[in-house]
Each structure stands twice: as structure tokens, then as C-alpha cells.
Amino acid sequence: MSFVGEQTEVRRHDHTSLRDAQRRALWVALALNAGFMFVELVGGVLFNSLALLADGAHMLSDVAGLAVALVAQHLTARPVSARKTYGLQRAEVLGAMANGLILLAVTVWIFFEAWGRLSNPEPVAGRGLLVVGLLGLAVNAGSAVVLVRSRGNSLNMHGAWLHMVSDAAGSVVVIVAALAVLSGGAQWVDPVASLIIGVLILASTWRLLTETVHVLMEGAPRGIDVQAVQGAMEAEAGVESVHHLHLWNLASDSAALSAHLVLERDTTLHDAQERGDRIKAMLAGDFGIEHTTLEFECHNCEPALTDGRH
């Protein structure tokens, strides 16, 4: 096996290991959140707390979101086929979008319920609210730590992690509301706390949805400078120019590239292939671009364009 082939095999092994770690982290987070979800929903009913019910509904969305993330992880591991030549890697991005839409739906429900309680506050059991809030903070923070360790650049994992972070912030709000009820009998703080949780959910969801839309619209991967990539390719020996350069994501953590390379005249097919292998290895090592398609030319395939379009 050539050096380039060995490097590619190592990167594939590392990527598979990361996906396995992500799957394990998702299962751990799912088990923790599914168990505590029932505690929080039952506590919300028993202690008459909209903040707990809102956080419980948010956690229900977490459980659904984590399940979606696990299904997406499974689909991305399926082999390619004649009809799906890249496999199902976009399932990971669709899973992240489903997570974001679930969160938006939960937020609408929270705002609707909170509006009613602000005009007609109801008594809340502060001690129970405080205990459940503290337990929720421990579960959410622990789940977030488990997920962040294996998140990598995956939008799917980022979406699941955002669920945990926003839930942890929600638990903090629940704790503050409980302390307000216990110290001053301020029942109105409970629906206000639920509104704050809703705002936290919206803030964490907006970026997730914009990122997934960017990937689905085949925008250039975040963190990769297209001009820097083109400059690095043109700096390779024997390359005169690069055009028709396109960069996109197959999945959120799997970048792809296609380009036309004008090589020096009188370059043999063997030399062109060797240069192509070197460029692919450079793109993978320096920019993390694993899927590269190159077309070699002895001259530019079309006249230069003046409006900046391909």
C-alpha cells in the first residue's frame, strides 16, 4: 500500500472510531434524559409548576431528538448503492434539522401556556420545584459533557449537545424560580421562568437551523477558506491554474471538493495521476477534505468569465 493509501486508511479508521464514540455518547444521553423526563413531567404536575412542565416538554424533545440523532447515525453508516452513490450521509443533517424543528414546536407551546399563567398565576410547590431543578441540572450537565467529548464537527451531535446545554440552562432557571417562590412567594416567577427557557431554546435552535440549511444548500463548509484551498492547489508543482472549484459538505463533518486543474503542457497521464494523488493527500491533511474529484486539463476548458460565475 502506498503512503497516500496508508494515510487515507488511517483517516477512515479515525472517522469510524469517532462515529462509534458518538453513537455510544448518544445512547448514554438518551438513557439519562428518558429516565429524568418522567421525573420532571410528574414533578410539574405534582408541584403545579409550568416551568417544570416546560422543561419536561423540552426534555421530551431531547429524548425525541436524541432518538432522531441515533437513527441518523445508523443511516450514515449504511453502504453506498447504485442509486445513492454517497450513501445516506445527508441523513445526519436531516436529523439535525428535525431536532431544530422539534425545539421550535416546543417553544410555541411554552409561550402559549406561560401567557395564560402570567394573567392568572397559580400556586407552585417551591421545595419540590427546587429538588427537581437540581436533579435536572446534574443530568443535563452530565449529558452535555458526554456528548461534547465525541462531538467532533458533526451537526447532528452539535444539535444533540445544544439540546443538553439549553436544558441545563433551563434547569438553572427552574432553580432560580424555586428560590423566588420559597423566599418571597412570588408565584409569577414560574411562568416567567418558562418564558426564559423558551427564549433559551430559540437562541440555541436558530444557529442549528441556519447551519443545516447551509449544508443542504451545498454551501462551502464552515471553517474552510475556499481561496486558501485554491491557493494551496495552485502552489503544487506542475499546476498552472485551478478553476471550476466547488466545495460542499456530504455530511456536516465530511467535506467534498471538485475542481479542474490546468497542468503544464506535455505532462504525461502517469505524472498527472501522481500529482493528483499528492494534491488529494494535501487537501485531506491540511483541510480535512476527504472526497476529492479532479479533472486535469492542458488548457482552460472555457474562456475566462468576467462576472465571477462558473
Nine-digit cell string for 148: 461534547
Residue 134 lies inside a defined structural domain of this protein: yes
Indicate whether 175 and 256 sit together in one domain.
Answer: no
Domain of 246? 226-297
Per-residue pLDDT at 120: 78
In whole angstroms, what is the distance from residue 81 CA to residue 83 CA? Answer: 5
Burial 131-169 (b: 16+ CB within 10 A, else e): bbbeebbebbbebbebbeebbebbbbbbbbbbbbbbbbb
Distances (CA, A) of 176 to 44, 171, 172, 300: 16, 9, 6, 65
Per-residue pLDDT at 117: 77
Indicate whether 240 and 205 sit together in one domain.
Answer: no
- Estimate the crossing angle of helix 91-119 against helix 189-216, to 10 degrees: 160
> Is the separation of the CB atoms in 261 and 294 below 8 Å?
yes
67 - beta bridge partners? Answer: none
In whole angstroms, what is the distance from residue 139 CA to residue 241 CA? Answer: 54
> Is the separation of the CB atoms in 163 and 99 below 8 Å?
yes
In whole angstroms, what is the distance from residue 138 CA to residue 27 CA? Answer: 17
Give the CATH number of the domain where residue 230 resides: 3.30.70.1350
Indicate whether 65 and 21 sit together in one domain.
Answer: yes
Give the CATH number of the domain where residue 112 resides: 1.20.1510.10
Indicate whether 152 and 9 sit together in one domain.
Answer: yes
Residue 137 lies inside a defined structural domain of this protein: yes
In whole angstroms, what is the distance from residue 74 CA to residue 160 CA? Answer: 15
Number of domains in the chain: 2
Residue 306 lies inside a defined structural domain of this protein: no
Residue 310 lies inside a defined structural domain of this protein: no
Indicate whether 238 and 165 sit together in one domain.
Answer: no
Q: State if pTM tops 0.75.
A: no
Indicate whether 18 and 164 sit together in one domain.
Answer: yes
Indicate whether 290 and 142 sit together in one domain.
Answer: no
Residue 60 lies inside a defined structural domain of this protein: yes
Positions of E strands within the chain: 239-251, 254-263, 289-297
Indicate whether 137 and 185 sit together in one domain.
Answer: yes
Per-residue pLDDT at 192: 84
Indicate whether 230 and 121 sit together in one domain.
Answer: no
Residue 221 lies inside a defined structural domain of this protein: no
Indicate whether 245 and 157 sit together in one domain.
Answer: no
Residue 308 lies inside a defined structural domain of this protein: no
Q: From first to last of its 310 residues, what are the pLDDT tens digits of the chain? A: 444 444 444 444 445 566 677 777 778 877 887 888 888 788 878 887 777 777 777 677 667 667 766 776 677 667 777 777 667 777 777 777 877 887 788 788 888 878 877 877 777 778 888 888 888 888 888 888 877 776 666 666 776 777 777 778 778 888 888 888 888 777 788 788 888 878 877 877 787 788 888 888 888 888 889 999 999 999 998 899 999 999 998 776 678 999 999 998 888 888 889 999 999 999 998 998 988 999 998 877 665 544 444 4
Indicate whether 206 and 150 sit together in one domain.
Answer: yes
Distances (CA, A) of 22 to 86, 143, 149, 173: 21, 12, 9, 29
Residue 148 lies inside a defined structural domain of this protein: yes
Per-residue pLDDT at 295: 92
Indicate whether 200 and 277 sit together in one domain.
Answer: no
The domain boundary residue, chosen from 190, 216, 242? 216
